[in-house]
A and B are shown apart, each in its own frame.
Chain A
Amino acid sequence: MKKQQQLYKGSLNTIIMKLLEQQGKMYGYEITQKVKEITQGEMNITEGALYPALHKMEADGFLDVEMDRVDGRIRKYYKLTESGVKETVSRMEELDNFIRNMQTIVNPNLKLDF
């Protein structure tokens, strides 16, 4: 499981961006829960990895923030900027290629359709 987490680590930003592309806007806790839900608990984004990644992408101009008051506290939502949308497309292409290549190496007889 721990080794698997290492494999996911390199794709963390792409995963976050893809989720934001699908959901529109999300807050930190929601991202961790969504990933857990989609992967049925297989992937766990730690807070220590999530927030530095979000803040870095915000500083790079890929994410925009919006604050709202919910349940008596302030909630910070992240959403993709225009350049973030473009970056997501390019990163998803890279990830698709990576998966295709890995699949070719690991299981050459299986064909994947993306």
Chain B
Amino acid sequence: MKLTTDQINYIDYVLKKQYTFENFEDLRVELLDHIASDVELKMQSDNMSFDDALPNVLHKWNDEIACDRNSYYNSVPIIVAKLWKKLDWKYNYFVLLLTGILCFGSMPFGREVWITYAMYSIACIGLVLGIYLLNLLRRNQFNTVLSMYAKNKIKLYVGLFAFALILNIGANYSDGDLLSRPALFVVTHTTLVFAVRTIIMRKNIKIENQLLKVI
């Protein structure tokens, strides 16, 4: 028994509005197909109407598609939060650790100017990556699990990067030397964050191209 277009659209509406999947188009189309297939089977094997079968199937899915209010990512479906947490482990904590190592490793060279030059070089890379990333996000045509992750707090990171950079230039200017570098941690960290988010957005382009083929 195949669902009608209206019934498929209704499941899509439920996923968007009742289960906050509006901004995760890639995952939503996948779950929509799975839920619709499940509903079709239920209607056929248990002789149920669409109105009875859908709540039955959604109940089974609830632990994955509802929001976990106690989670750090409490406004996204659990299935998305799980993936984002994995990305955090893979990228964010690694980035934080790497920043710590780099900044800690630079401490013995506190009175050497080349560290400040290195910091400004990192800032240049950060600037290029930041502009490239913002451009990728601007051109992004579908909101997907990866693009939303890349977008998450990105304005905050850009703001922090710019603020830290200006602060450091100001400090160097007023001191008349290149010895102070209050922005070292923030600039290094945000540059690495931009690099990671750029990698994620490059992966997202592949998903986007697949979606563009069929939508």
Interface residues in chain A, defined as those with a beta carbon under 8 Å from any beta carbon in chain B = 27-29, 47-48, 51-52, 55-56, 59, 65-76
Contacts and interface: CB of A to CB of B under 8 A. Distances in A.
Contact of A29 (B29, B37, B86, B215): B37
5 contacts: A29-B38, A52-B83, A67-B210, A68-B214, A74-B33
B28 to A, nearest CB: 9
Interface in B120-158: 145
Contact of A75 (B3, B33, B203): B33
Given A66-B210, A72-B5, A28 B33 contact: yes
A74 to B, nearest CB: 4
Interface in B30-45: 30-34, 36-38
A76 B30 contact: yes
B79 A48 contact: yes
Contact of B64 (A48, A55, A69, A71): A48
A59 B84 CA distance: 13
**Chain B residues touching A, majority SS:** helix
B81 to A, nearest CB: 11
Nearest to A28: B34
The number of chain B residues touching the other chain, given as a range, is 20 to 34
B48 interface: no
Interface in B1-37: 2-5, 8, 26-27, 29-34, 36-37
A67 B142 CA distance: 15
A87 B86 CA distance: 21
Contact of A73 (B29, B64, B82): B29
A71 B38 contact: no
Interface string B99-116: 000000000000000000
B141 to A, nearest CB: 14
B211 interface: yes
A76 B26 CA distance: 9
Contacts of B26: 76
